[in-house]
């Protein structure tokens, strides 16, 4: 591959993926298409301005003319679609942007790629499309889709479009579905960066319900390595699950964060639960191990310590991304639920 086009490259996972690709190949041309929503931050790729093999194009994946123009100009060997509205709580407050970007945006991108005969397309999806697990069992690639939130249903709709394009048009699309990511550059609205940022300022952390919900945590770099492996060795039409083999109840995660930051448990505040809150996600990633020779490498203890250190050292980044629109969101989401 000499050119790839990444969408949503200024977000959390996209920017980590671009950094990984640059590490792997200094000569790879990377085109990054990003609308720069509240979650997109040029600072996440600071230093790339001077990289002659990196091109940033500000725009919307739902803008057919803009996307077709870029594909014509650069003829990428692969398109990797990270661009999305990605936060469940925001999708509960307003699902409109989720339908627009996650579903319509994906459809526009698929049509443009099909028209331009792009040789490889990878849809970055989520384990949340499978719905919720009880105490037992794991999601496999065969688990029926049963999304429960506006976010996960919009991601599932996009996955179904990719599937339909593969089936109907022989489109060379793949789908990867990963569990909850953590690591540097994650917007401080998701639980780990939000709690770290609050605790660093001795602020309370809002645990939804009783904190019994379970997530399977994977370091963003392992997820990005998985996407890279799928791009290189995956088969068109296939789905690959990635997970971290690291299930934790939210309350146990919270206590680990408190301990690592040497903060008292009195900073925990149990708040009204998220409506429709999925109980448990857990991933069977044996297919990716077998077919892509991929497995997660970063253990949670080490990854979490590094992530905490990153947020400590990048308080200015947190401050800047939290300004403006985010303050309004925080007030809407937690204003009357969290005490001072």
Our CB check for ligand TYD shows the closer of 121 and 185 to be: 185
Interface region with ligand TYD, contact rule CB under 6 A, candidates 14-22, 109-117, 160-168, 190-198: 190-198
> Does position 239 bind ligand TYD by CB under 6 A?
no
Q: How far is the CB of 206 from ligand TYD (least distance, A)?
A: 4
> Does position 199 bind ligand TYD by CB under 6 A?
no
- Provide the Cα torsion 323, 324, 329, 331; round to 10°: 80
Q: How far is the CB of 312 from ligand TYD (least distance, A)?
A: 20
Find out whether 235 and 287 touch, Cβ atoms under 8 Å: no
Structure tokens at 33: 């298409």
Our CB check for ligand NAD shows the closer of 39 and 199 to be: 39
Helix axes 106-115, 150-169, angle to 10 degrees: 20
CA 311/CA 326 separation, integer angstroms: 17
Our CB check for ligand TYD shows the closer of 32 and 186 to be: 186
Enumerate binding residues for ligand NAD (CB under 6 A): 7-8, 10-14, 33-37, 39-40, 60-62, 82-84, 86, 101, 105, 124, 126, 155, 178, 180-181, 187
HSE-CB for 65 with a 13 A CA cutoff: 0
> Does position 194 bind ligand TYD by CB under 6 A?
yes
One-character DSSP codes across 226-250 = HHHHHHHH--TT-EEEE--S-EEEH
Which are the contacts of 122, defined by CB distance < 8 A and separation ≥ 6?
A: 78, 79, 80, 81, 173, 174, 175, 176, 227, 230, 231, 234
Active site residues: 127-128, 151
Helix axes 64-74, 106-115, angle to 10 degrees: 40
Q: Which of 74, 208, 329, 330 binds ligand TYD (CB under 6 A)?
A: 208
Size of the site for ligand TYD (CB under 6 A): 12
> Does position 250 bind ligand TYD by CB under 6 A?
yes
Our CB check for ligand TYD shows the closer of 2 and 272 to be: 272
Our CB check for ligand NAD shows the closer of 126 and 213 to be: 126
- List of residues contacting ligand TYD (CB under 6 A): 88, 180, 190-191, 194, 206-208, 213, 215, 250, 274
């Amino acid at each position: 591959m000499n050119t790839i086009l990444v969408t949503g490259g200024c977000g959390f996972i996209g920017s980590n993926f671009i950094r990984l690709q640059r590490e792997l190949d200094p000569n790879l041309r990377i085109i990054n298409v990003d609308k720069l929503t509240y979650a997109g931050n040029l600072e996440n790729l600071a230093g790339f301005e001077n990289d002659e093999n990196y091109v940033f194009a500000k725009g919307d994946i739902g803008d057919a003319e803009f996307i077709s123009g870029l594909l014509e100009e650069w003829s990428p060997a692969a398109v990797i679609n990270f661009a999305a509205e990605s936060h469940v709580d925001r999708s509960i407050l307003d699902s409109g942007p989720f339908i627009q970007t996650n579903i319509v945006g994906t459809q526009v991108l698929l049509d443009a790629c099909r028209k331009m005969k792009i040789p490889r397309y990878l849809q970055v999806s989520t384990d949340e499309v499978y719905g919720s697990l009880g105490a037992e069992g794991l999601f496999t690639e065969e688990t029926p889709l049963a999304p429960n939130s506006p976010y996960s249903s919009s991601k599932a709709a996009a996955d179904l479009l990719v599937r339909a394009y593969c089936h109907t048009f022989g489109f060379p699309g793949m789908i990867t579905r990963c569990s909850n990511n953590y690591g540097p550059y994650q917007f401080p609205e998701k639980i780990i960066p939000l709690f770290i940022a609050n605790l660093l300022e001795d602020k309370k952390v809002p645990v939804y319900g009783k904190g019994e919900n379970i997530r399977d945590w994977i370091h963003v770099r392992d997820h990005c390595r998985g996407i890279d492996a799928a791009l290189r060795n995956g088969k068109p039409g296939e789905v690959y699950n990635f997970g971290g083999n690291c299930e934790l109840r939210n309350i146990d995660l919270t206590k680990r964060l408190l301990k690592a930051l040497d903060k008292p448990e009195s900073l925990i505040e149990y708040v009204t639960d998220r409506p429709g809150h999925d109980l448990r996600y857990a991933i069977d990633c044996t297919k990716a191990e077998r077919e892509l020779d991929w497995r997660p490498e970063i253990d949670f203890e080490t990854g979490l310590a590094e992530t905490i250190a990153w947020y400590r050292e990048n308080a200015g980044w947190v401050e800047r991304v939290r300004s403006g629109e985010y303050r309004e969101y925080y007030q809407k989401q937690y204003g009357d639920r969290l005490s001072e």
